[in-house]
Structure 1
Amino acid sequence: MSFFSPYPGRAMFVAFVVLLLSLPAPSAGDQLLCAGANGKYSPNSTYLTSLRSLADELTARAMNSHSATGTAGTGSNDKVYGAVLCRGDSTGADCSGRLREAFGRTIDADSTGAAACALHKDVALYSELYQLRFSDEDFLSASSNAPEWVDGTNLNLVPAADARQFDELVAKLTRSLAEAAAAQPDRYATADVPWSSRESERTVYGLAQCMQDMPPERCRACLNGVGAEIRRRIGSSKMGGAIHGARCTLRYETGTQFFTEAATGQRKGHALLIIATVYSLSVVCTRLLFCVLYIIRRRKRGKINSTEQPKNIDEILRLWKMEDTGSEFSLYDFSQIADATDNFSPGKILGQGGFGPVYKGIFPDGQEVAIKKLAARSRQGLVEFKNEIQLVAKLQHRHLVRLLGCCIHDEEKILIYEYMSNKSLDYFIFDPNRRTSLNWMIRLKIVEGIAQGLLYLHEHSRLRIIHRDLKASNILLDSELNPKISDFGMARIFPSDATQTKTSRLVGTYGYMAPEYAFEGLLSIKSDVFSFGVLLLEIISGKRSAGFQHYGEGEFHNLLQYAWQMWEEERWHEFIDQSIGDEYEPGDMMKYLRLALMCVQVKAVDRPTMSDIVAMLSSDDITVPEPRQPAYSYTRVDVSVNINLSCTRNDITLTTTDGR
């Protein structure tokens, strides 16, 4: 039988019908819930004023964290409680735009000239990509997930013979998602499960998300409750379903990876969806054909040039060895590294860095070293790699971790650092037992050492360098608990005559980023100062910035907000880590707390330089200025983390987003 049909129109029609039958059932769309029992507000009331103010605040905050809660108003007649949530894979601008439009629909007028749920005090709007709720009742402190929207996204039935197995799979998937989402600072997790039925092999995808202000145990309980609700109200014999609630949401789909990218628009009927799908398939097939041809061409070209590459590498390595003769920086053989780490034994792993695992190594002379094995996916060229590490090797300061050398073997790139026996600052400061070994005097020594190291990078090294990822896990401690700044993988060389630069590639860690860098990509030495201020607050309080939420007076506060509240109310002693005891002088503690708040000011110009900070730390004669309200803004950097859980027949792979 010929592959080509003499009736192309008929063939196209048959393909169209097959495609139509293979599409999953569409989602029911948005769901708007208006609670009439709470009554209505007047068009020109103070409640409406509070509501508009809260809507603007939540929309702006959600741009950076995908989730926000808050209140507006003070009296019983105008106080509003609100919460917004965007799906974790959406962009900040898309999230903010959708929420702004949604608030407009529920508060102002829609295309018909009337507002949906007009003047209702209690409104919830749920969508596949975002949701919002506002009310005159305090639902933020309640454990209830009401009101909920039960969405049968794919009501196709699993074959009866496979129903039991599918039911167990969905139950295991939802439980795993609940655990993973609760463990993440952004309370968001996705998963995929290969499912083998008697008829076919498919993948079941799942997504779980809570409001970020929820403690892990409340998030876990909420999602487990929703998981049970899905099985009861939708039935896990259905191929897809979701429940969206005021505090958490859970969804699973069979054969459709719905969470890879946020949709760019609402679905507008079956016809548009089918046309878009046919067009997308044609584009995918075309691109796939070009990719195959490109790979074949590259392989042919690779056969010609493969003999030239080793010669180039050997020549570079030979010249490098000649250049580094007599230098403290060494080029190691791969066999030396393999022997020092027992052939990269898992038992030698010290931790996982941003670019690969870090091993402890011991050379034959007894020297202990830390060996960072860069991930093979790194595409950094050999010459560029050489230039970068030779630059870092020239950074010599007692409060910077020293780079001893490197090793290149085939596509492996390995860095060798001096070994720090006391691990990192976060190993101590965030552990309730271990942080008792860090008394106030030791913490002062750590703070002053970090400040000296940053001052060297900003002003005293050969080139001005901005670290861009200063945080507790990147402060290593030697045998005497002296701090050393590490991990320059994200560092940026900065012109000595420039005050700031702009970048479109944001790198760093959630909770430590300066607002002008997070929002506009503006980078300067004041970016590191902001991170230093957050780190100083963590050292004083013993609390981790990322994921910290303090609930009080009907609102959730992050670490900066909490520190400012305690400072303003002259209750700063409540912010201090209790394990420090009363061994500090109140005047000194207030000085350090004031300095930390100065470092996290909203405007970069209001923050001190590291030179100012070192001078303030070393002298009692210099008065630290009185701080203003600090920045409350954080940005979110997505990093994929795979967690494998063993199952009886299927492997569940969880993918969550977190700060690096």
Structure 2
Amino acid sequence: MKNKVLLFVLHNQLNWVLQFFRVDATRLSHLSSISGPEYSPLSSPVCSPMSAFSPGIIEANEDPKMNRHKNLVLALIVASASVGVLIFSLLFLWIYHKNISDKHRKNNAKRSDGIKRFARRQVKGNFDSLKMNLKWGSVSTIDYKLLESATGNFEKSNILGKGGFGCVYKARLDDNHYVAVKKVDGGGQDAEREFENEVDLLSVIHHPNIIALLGYCIHEETRYLICELMENGSLETQLHGPSRGSALTWHIRMKIALDVARGLQYLHEHCNPLVIHRDLKSSNILLDADFNAKLSDFGLAVSDRVQNKNIKLSGTLGYVAPEYLLDGKLTDKTDVYAFGVVLLELLLGRKPVEKLSPSQCQSIVTWAMPQLTDRLKLPNIIDPAIRDTMDTKHLYQVAAVAVLCVQPEPSYRPLITDVLHSLIPLVPVELGGTLRVSQRAVLVPSSL
């Protein structure tokens, strides 16, 4: 706005100078055509006859040439002054812009220094900030030395699990509160991109069935994610580990399925844009002390806005939907397929892919599909840890949901909301559903 006003003033000054030149030129032209004696202020109306011949008497009329010279000099002076004003104004404009630019650079420098100071202040934070994050759901950076201290210098005895990314450690805060520290080793640009993607997403996603990210740390080439501790580990460990699913009753398994469906529903229908997890599997479903299930590992997750923009094919064999594997087509129905595979794991107690021989594998979908729709065969293929512990009608309903979820054609699969509404009546009220059963039947494992 100031620039426009200044330019307007300069424009008016320039117009005034030009107008002056036009007026002055008119005056000079007019004066050159007027005779001296007729307009001389000193001329007498009656002259002495001898005046023309007296050498001591000088004619009172001024010379026309002298008048023109004086006016020209005056015009030049005024013109020079105007040009000086114009040059001064331009100089002022240049100084003004220079000051604005310098001020802008100083503001940017101050802003950059403020960001750096904030980053340093965040890094110097202690585990008190983690305790606040547990309450308020925020994310902050954590100093590496604090992680070393909390994990006993990453002692092997504190390892909770291992994966392709690295290890997960149990970390003890100074008030006997525990968290999980996920160590992400090197791995190049892909690992760095997945780490940043997970931090970005979990910083804004907050839901009871999605793991809470409390903080993160970057130390040299290694990155760390600090999350809430899930005491019962992953669903994969519970189903396929040493206990072979003995701690998971039928009702608890249905509760886990319902929790996963709720987490996916939040991603698909309540996030804007919608988020596709893209790597849903039993190892990425974590269980707390009460077997509440939460989705984790969002490194491969994508939003709907970028889902079809040169995304590298990723996922885990056995959980990847056919259309994504063959054509790279990624939608929310891709997650629904993976959910169907997890539901089959809960029903059958089998891994998503099993080796038949060193060179041959079979997926749980291929093996189970012919038997899931046969009411006579279905009870015989159920996980022995829960066999004959559920209402047969409920078993058929869950099997039907699983069959729909793993359909080869995406359009035949239900929305996760439909799956959610199908499972709610099968889960006891005490576990978050609407089914009325005795509490002992819900919580006591089938092996007891």
TM-score range, shorter chain: 0.5 to 0.7
Q: Output the CA distance in 1 between the equivalents of 2:272 and 2:121.
A: 23
Question: What does residue 352 of structure 2 align with?
Answer: 545
Question: What does residue 372 of structure 1 align with?
Answer: 182
One-letter code aligned to 2:279: D
* DSSP 3-state at the match of 1:523: coil
Structure 1 position 507 matched with structure 2 position 314: yes
Cα shift at 1:383: 11
Residue from 540, 546, 566 that aligns with 2:371? 566
Cα shift at 1:568: 4.1
Q: Output the CA distance in 1 between the equivalents of 2:247 and 2:383.
A: 12
Residue from 254, 258, 265 that aligns with 1:444? 254
Residue from 326, 342, 349 that aligns with 1:519? 326
Residue from 398, 406, 421 that aligns with 1:592? 398
Q: Output the CA distance in 2 between the equivalents of 1:462 and 1:429.
A: 34
Question: What does residue 293 of structure 2 align with?
Answer: 483
One-letter code aligned to 2:117: R
Structure 1 position 473 matched with structure 2 position 272: no
8 Å CA contact 1:502–1:522 kept in 2: the answer is no
Structure 1 position 354 matched with structure 2 position 164: yes
8 Å CA contact 1:399–1:485 kept in 2: the answer is yes
8 Å CA contact 2:151–2:169 kept in 1: the answer is yes
- When residues 361 and 618 of structure 1 are mapped into structure 2, their CA distance, relative to the original with a 3 A threshold, is same
Q: Output the CA distance in 2 between the equivalents of 1:345 and 1:389.
A: 25
- What percent identity do the matched residue pairs reach? 38
Cα shift at 1:314: 9.0
Residue from 333, 337, 348 that aligns with 2:147? 337
Residue from 239, 243, 263 that aligns with 1:429? 239
Question: What does residue 318 of structure 1 align with?
Answer: 117
Q: Output the CA distance in 2 between the equivalents of 1:432 and 1:381.
A: 30
Listed one character per residue, the Cα deviations across residues 128-178 of structure 1 (whole Å, up to 9, x for unaligned) are xxxxxxxxxxxxxxxxxxxxxxxxxxxxxxxxxxxxxxxxxxxxxxxxxxx
Question: What does residue 269 of structure 1 align with?
Answer: none
Q: Output the CA distance in 2 between the equivalents of 1:377 and 1:557.
A: 30
Q: How many residues align?
A: 302
Larger C-alpha radius of gyration, 1 or 2? 2
Question: What's the C-alpha RMSD, in Å, of the aligned pairs?
Answer: 3.1
More helix by share: 2
Matches within 5 A, 1:615-630: 615-619=421-425
Structure 1 position 610 matched with structure 2 position 416: yes
* DSSP 3-state at the match of 1:581: coil
* DSSP 3-state at the match of 2:245: helix
Question: What does residue 536 of structure 1 align with?
Answer: 343
Q: Output the CA distance in 2 between the equivalents of 1:538 and 1:586.
A: 18
Question: What does residue 30 of structure 2 align with?
Answer: none
Matches within 5 A, 1:136-147: none
* DSSP 3-state at the match of 2:299: coil
8 Å CA contact 2:353–2:362 kept in 1: the answer is no
Q: Output the CA distance in 1 between the equivalents of 2:316 and 2:193.
A: 28
One-letter code aligned to 2:391: E
Q: Output the CA distance in 1 between the equivalents of 2:190 and 2:310.
A: 20
Residue from 417, 420, 426 that aligns with 2:227? 417
Listed one character per residue, the Cα deviations across residues 64-98 of structure 1 (whole Å, up to 9, x for unaligned) are xxxxxxxxxxxxxxxxxxxxxxxxxxxxxxxxxxx
Cα shift at 1:561: 2.5
8 Å CA contact 1:502–1:521 kept in 2: the answer is no
* DSSP 3-state at the match of 1:361: strand
Q: Output the CA distance in 2 between the equivalents of 1:502 and 1:619.
A: 39
* DSSP 3-state at the match of 2:176: coil
Cα shift at 1:381: 10
8 Å CA contact 1:566–1:574 kept in 2: the answer is no
* DSSP 3-state at the match of 2:168: strand
- When residues 600 and 380 of structure 1 are mapped into structure 2, their CA distance, relative to the original with a 3 A threshold, is closer
8 Å CA contact 1:447–1:536 kept in 2: the answer is yes
Q: Output the CA distance in 1 between the equivalents of 2:301 and 2:204.
A: 14
* DSSP 3-state at the match of 1:501: coil
- When residues 334 and 427 of structure 1 are mapped into structure 2, their CA distance, relative to the original with a 3 A threshold, is same
Q: Output the CA distance in 2 between the equivalents of 1:329 and 1:601.
A: 39
* DSSP 3-state at the match of 2:326: helix
Cα shift at 1:391: 3.0
Listed one character per residue, the Cα deviations across residues 491-538 of structure 1 (whole Å, up to 9, x for unaligned) are 11223xx9x636451111010000000011111100000000011011
Cα shift at 1:387: 7.2
Residue from 205, 215, 233 that aligns with 1:405? 215
- When residues 320 and 559 of structure 1 are mapped into structure 2, their CA distance, relative to the original with a 3 A threshold, is same
Listed one character per residue, the Cα deviations across residues 334-363 of structure 1 (whole Å, up to 9, x for unaligned) are 111110111122222222233222211111
8 Å CA contact 1:337–1:361 kept in 2: the answer is yes
Structure 1 residue ranges without an equivalent (≥5)? 1-312, 621-660
One-letter code aligned to 2:331: S
Listed one character per residue, the Cα deviations across residues 579-608 of structure 1 (whole Å, up to 9, x for unaligned) are 113221111110100100100101111101
8 Å CA contact 1:502–1:523 kept in 2: the answer is no
* DSSP 3-state at the match of 1:417: strand
* DSSP 3-state at the match of 2:117: helix
8 Å CA contact 1:548–1:559 kept in 2: the answer is no
8 Å CA contact 1:330–1:404 kept in 2: the answer is yes
Q: Output the CA distance in 1 between the equivalents of 2:191 and 2:399.
A: 44
Question: What does residue 381 of structure 2 align with?
Answer: 575
8 Å CA contact 1:538–1:545 kept in 2: the answer is yes
* DSSP 3-state at the match of 1:560: helix
One-letter code aligned to 1:453: G
* DSSP 3-state at the match of 1:392: helix
Q: Output the CA distance in 2 between the equivalents of 1:344 and 1:491.
A: 28
Question: What does residue 203 of structure 2 align with?
Answer: 393
- When residues 574 and 502 of structure 1 are mapped into structure 2, their CA distance, relative to the original with a 3 A threshold, is farther
8 Å CA contact 2:194–2:300 kept in 1: the answer is no
- When residues 441 and 462 of structure 1 are mapped into structure 2, their CA distance, relative to the original with a 3 A threshold, is same
Structure 1 position 461 matched with structure 2 position 268: no
8 Å CA contact 2:198–2:299 kept in 1: the answer is no
Cα shift at 1:386: 5.9
